Structure 1
Amino acid sequence: MYYAILAYHQEGVVQSWTEEEDQALMTELLEVNDRLVAQKSLGPAARLGPTEGAVTLRGQGEGMVIDGPFAETKEQLLGLYVVDFPTIEGAIAAARDLRRANPTAVYEIRPILLYLPGASLESRAED
């Protein structure tokens, strides 16, 4: 079964990290990433950009594009991991490993009801 591990954190805290602090955290998170890849349990993972660069589409019909996400929370969605485990306990264990690397983050584990891997995306420079 596929599960999404959604990583939440306060953007101000994340943005306050020095380059060295951020690199140290990423090194620890990539160790968990590599272990999950070796176990063939990790699918796509992404670190999201800041919410100030995001927009939200909401409303009826074509919808209206408004600036940023407006969630009633102090934490913002920082990134996500897609994992494959037979039960939610395996996904929880993976989230605990991620939390050991980043103990100030909050991790939500949610079953994925439909998983379509899509096409492989290559990075494209903006024209």
Structure 2
Amino acid sequence: MKKSVIPNNPEVNEQLSSKDYMKFLIPSLIGVFLFLFPLIRDGAVNIPLGYLIDFFKNASKPFGKQVIYGVVILSSSITLIHRLVKFKFIKSSKFWSTIFEVGVKGKMYWKGFNSSQCNGKK
């Protein structure tokens, strides 16, 4: 069987290998098992993903709130300190700047937004 790199282009065709089939089949079978395969445990019917969620929910119960509080305090602290000090690695990285440069004049990427609208200027 041939796979097209560019649709409807007969010049660019490759043969599918067994590795290509496995790249599709293995994740597909895992997904079918996690989402569609019912398991009966203690008289209750649930999918494997439900059991995984219950496991992690129970395992994180003793320290879950502390982790959430830690993430919120850490991210808000970095944001406040960055507003005062302007870390170079945050300003130079698009990823980190979209996370930590917040506020009215922060990184706003929706269409049609003009930064002069923040100051009331037109």
Both structures adopt the same fold (TM-score exceeding 0.5): no
TM-score range, shorter chain: under 0.3
Q: Taking structure 1 as the reference length, what is the TM-score of the superposition?
A: 0.23
Q: 1 or 2, which has the higher helix percentage? A: 2
Q: 1 or 2, which has the higher strand percentage? A: 1
Task: Tell which structure's C-alpha radius of gyration is larger.
Answer: 2
Q: Taking structure 2 as the reference length, what is the TM-score of the superposition?
A: 0.24
Higher relative contact order (CA 8 A, sep 6+): 1
